[in-house]
Chain A
């Protein structure tokens, strides 16, 4: 039943509850559009301060904020560059943070499990082992677990270029590190760089090992590992995430690529809105052809296509990482395809019978989550006969019902 939950659709619930990871669900939720619940793409702000994906806002014909219903109109929409930066950074950091948090959860659970199991060989060692982590590596079992933690953390750090941030330095993790060092791979953040490089003790930047003295003599100016190279690497990373052809697949960009494949330029103007009321299908077709869009279908299909194109095109202008015309056309096609799917029709009586078990499970879950009552009454499972209330219209049962529920409001 829950295989939908296994699909790769990131959501705030990927993070542990606030009790275990304060703020992370909230952070992930805050960086998501309230409408599509995706991480913001081309976020825009309206006067009340609420933000949405640019693509979502023009759909709001109601002239009000979808969250707080404060009045808002299209001319007040402004792009929110700072939020876009934050989302871009979170997009990069999210997988790493998620991994770290999950690892931490696993570690905590293992610890709890260990504490709840009786001491294995000699009670003394185990007791001490918990109080003082240094002793823990005496037990080969725990040592294995801990070095496991280190490997994951170190490789994650290496991957993400965050080595210098000292994430593994803080809190209880310090001991994890010192223990990990006793096993083979050195868990220092330096695992992310080649052995020919060293961290400059003065400026903290990475310098080829052979030139470290010259570097220091130059006042930390010479022989720096080129920043430009790192920036390009980062840029490539963003490109991979956002699918931006300019940065992401710079090699693929060759002579064969047309203008259609390039991101839309900064100078592009938003398309004006059209009042379709008086337009003949022929004119609509021409307009679509001018835009190099499909011009097949009935009048309302043509109009919907044209309208949607304006929305997609203009929303793309609010993004700093713009899509190409071809990508936008694919988006339009996907939208049109999705629109064609029909509303499912259901024979309700039959449906209810067929899904009897599903509903039984749901009932059990709803009951379990219902706020507890002071004095539970007869269980509904026992059937109607166990209840004092009669269904057959016997008026004597009225008093029974009302007496039994003194808190209920009844007209005098």
Chain B
């Protein structure tokens, strides 16, 4: 059965694979179009540069009337990303418009890496460091960038070893 939501997601995929925005890629799970994997490459001239941040997008039949759930799988240190990877991004909440597609969502997240909004913090520590101690903020972000290059297994080992970072 091809629902409106499904057709829309196939179109989103066509658009994203034909004309991908720079430093962004994404594709639905081969066996479930409601589940998408995406990667955002940390934008140049930001502390996130060269990071390969993995995301998971979960859609419901209400898409595009309602936004998908977007989560970072990679650990993030960003004023607007919660510890569990969820994002505090207006266009994924009250400013959602049904005209957005996956490419638009990922582009918005990429620009959020560029311009954090410390006024609506999801990570209070990151927001504070961003405002008051840029040096330390950059250091913490760089740590997540390096983590983003690791395989999931290495990741877990690291989490077990050094719990402080």
Contacts and interface: CB of A to CB of B under 8 A. Distances in A.
B61 A369 contact: no
From B21, B24, B133, B152, residue with most partner A Cβ within 10 Å: B152
Contact of A362 (B32, B39, B62, B149): B39
Interface of A: 1-5, 7, 9, 11-13, 17, 34-38, 56, 59-60, 66-67, 69, 334, 337-339, 341, 343-344, 346, 348-349, 351-353, 355-356, 358-359, 362-363, 365-367, 369-371, 373, 377, 380-381, 383-384, 387, 389, 391-393, 397-398, 401-402, 405, 407-411
Label chain A's interface by main secondary structure. Answer: loop
Contacts of A5: 10, 13-14, 17
Nearest to B132: A411
B56 A4 contact: no
Given A344-B32, A369-B25, 10 more contacts: A37-B7, A37-B11, A362-B26, A369-B20, A371-B22, A381-B149, A383-B150, A384-B149, A384-B150, A408-B47
Contacts of B25: 362-363, 365-366, 369
Interface string B44-62: 1111011010101010111
Contact of A407 (B8, B14, B45, B162): B45
Interface residues of B, number: 79
Contacts of A339: 61-62
Interface string B83-125: 0010000000000011101000000000000000000000000
Contacts of B38: 362
Label chain B's interface by main secondary structure. Answer: mixed
29 contacts: A1-B27, A7-B10, A9-B11, A36-B8, A37-B7, A37-B8, A37-B11, A38-B7, A67-B97, A338-B4, A339-B61, A341-B60, A348-B56, A353-B152, A359-B37, A363-B25, A363-B41, A366-B24, A369-B22, A369-B23, A370-B44, A380-B52, A387-B146, A391-B147, A392-B162, A408-B45, A410-B134, A410-B135, A411-B133
A12 B50 CA distance: 32
A391 B54 contact: no
B126 interface: no
Nearest to A1: B30
A356 B34 contact: no
Given A34-B99, A344-B34, A346-B35, A391 B146 contact: yes
